[in-house]
Amino acid sequence: MPESTNSVVVENLVKRFGDFTAVDRLNLNVAKGEVFGFLGPNGAGKSTTIRMLCGLLRPTSGRAQVAGFDVSRNPESVRQNIGYMSQKFSLYNDLKVIENLRLFAGLYSVPSAKLKNRIEWALEMANLKGQENLITATLPGGWKQRLALGCAVLHQPAILFLDEPTSGVDPISRRQFWDLIHHMAAEGVTVFVTTHYMEEAEYCNRLALIFRGKMVALGTPSELKRDSMTGELLFVDCEPLGTAVETLQSAPDVMDAAVFGNALHLVVRNAAVAQPRIEQYLRDHSVTVRRMEKIRPTLEDVFVSLTTTREAAEEHKP
């Protein structure tokens, strides 16, 4: 494998399906040993990107290099150096745990001298020791995900692509799964992971926010929270919520209003200036304000803010 500090290099990557542009001029680099998060709503182009990087889809244009190999020209060399977990659970349900592991060991040509050790290691890592002879179909969701991860890393790949690895898995298993990811990253494996869970995004070293095929932001979680918001964030606990959201859309100072749980998050240019004015405005519209304060934005706020700005910009285009 050619020596390079970047495990993944993407330049102007485009994927079109007919008239639909799934991935639009994407540029990014992922450093070795990094946990890189690819965040976006369903249909944003996350899976399409990851599939191009694994050589499963041919890019329409642009270039992508994985582990130093071009994904269009040299997909087989790419595959030898990566592990991939697709979005849908896609091991064989009618095979036993150990049979799935042996299958992927065979497919990745794990040498027989190493085979026993690698399978032991995978069972240990996936916390499936003693469960080797269970039929995969009978495993709980979290166990299946760990088995799938085990199968994807049997050959000690340099780069791991995980496409929504924790969707449909309970929160505790999700937490355990992320511990595993960090464990691998600590051993030098580059992890490229897509998710639409905002709280998971916080576990990544770096994030790309993708929306409608385009990257709308890139940075560490704290960078994104600090820099990507235009304006400041106000938390408003008030009643009735519905009336409040409606009236606030046309209120002065409010750039955006969204419901978060049973309260509102408002984006304003300057919180200190806006707060008393909005309180007054709400009272005038017979909304009871229980609490209002300036808060630090979460990634979800950042994401909502960036996507609404983007949507507004696209709607104003001729």
Would you count residue 61 as binding other proteins (CB under 8 A)? no
CA–CA separation, 169 and 165 (whole Å): 9
As a whole number of angstroms, the distance between CA 132 and CA 129 comes to 7
**Least spacing, CB of residue 202 vs other proteins, in Å:** 28
33 binds other proteins (CB under 8 A): no
| Binding span for other proteins by CB under 8 A among 32-40, 50-58, 252-260, 284-292 | 50-58
Does residue 14 bind other proteins (CB under 8 A)? no
CB of 70 to other proteins, least distance (A): 16
At position 302, the amino acid (one-letter code) is: V
Q: Looking at beta carbons only, is 20 or 318 nearer to other proteins? A: 20
Beta strands per DSSP E along the chain: 6-17, 20-31, 35-39, 61-66, 69-70, 82-85, 159-163, 190-195, 206-211, 214-219, 232-239, 254-260, 263-268, 288-295
Pick from 51, 144, 146, 174 the residue near other proteins by CB under 8 A.
Answer: 51
Residues 113-152 that bind other proteins (CB under 8 A): 148
Number of CB atoms found within 10 A of residue 8's CB: 23
- Distance of closest approach, residue 156 Cβ to other proteins, in angstroms: 14
Q: List the one residue from 1, 11, 61, 107 that touches other proteins (CB under 8 A).
A: 107
Counting contacts by CB under 8 A, is residue 291 touching other proteins? no
Q: Is 198 in the site for other proteins (CB under 8 A)?
A: no
Q: Do residues 192 and 159 lie in contact, with contact meaning Cβ atoms separated by under 8 Å?
A: yes
Residue pair 272/236 in contact (Cβ under 8 Å)? The answer is: no
Helix (H, G, I), strand (E, B) or coil at 299: helix
The total of other beta-carbon atoms located within 10 Å of residue 250's CB is: 8
Selected binder of other proteins within 13, 26, 57, 210 (CB under 8 A)? 57
Tell me if 88 contacts other proteins by CB under 8 A: yes
Q: Does 19 bind other proteins (CB under 8 A)?
A: no
Spatial distance between the Cα atoms of 317 and 298, rounded to a whole number of angstroms? 29
Q: What angle (nearest 5°) sits at the alpha carbon of residue 177, between those of residues 96 and 122? A: 40
Q: Is 91 in the site for other proteins (CB under 8 A)?
A: yes
Candidate segments 62-70, 107-115, 195-203, 234-242, binder of other proteins by CB under 8 A: 107-115
Task: List residues binding other proteins (CB under 8 A).
Answer: 51, 54-58, 75-76, 79-80, 82, 84-86, 88-95, 99, 102-109, 148
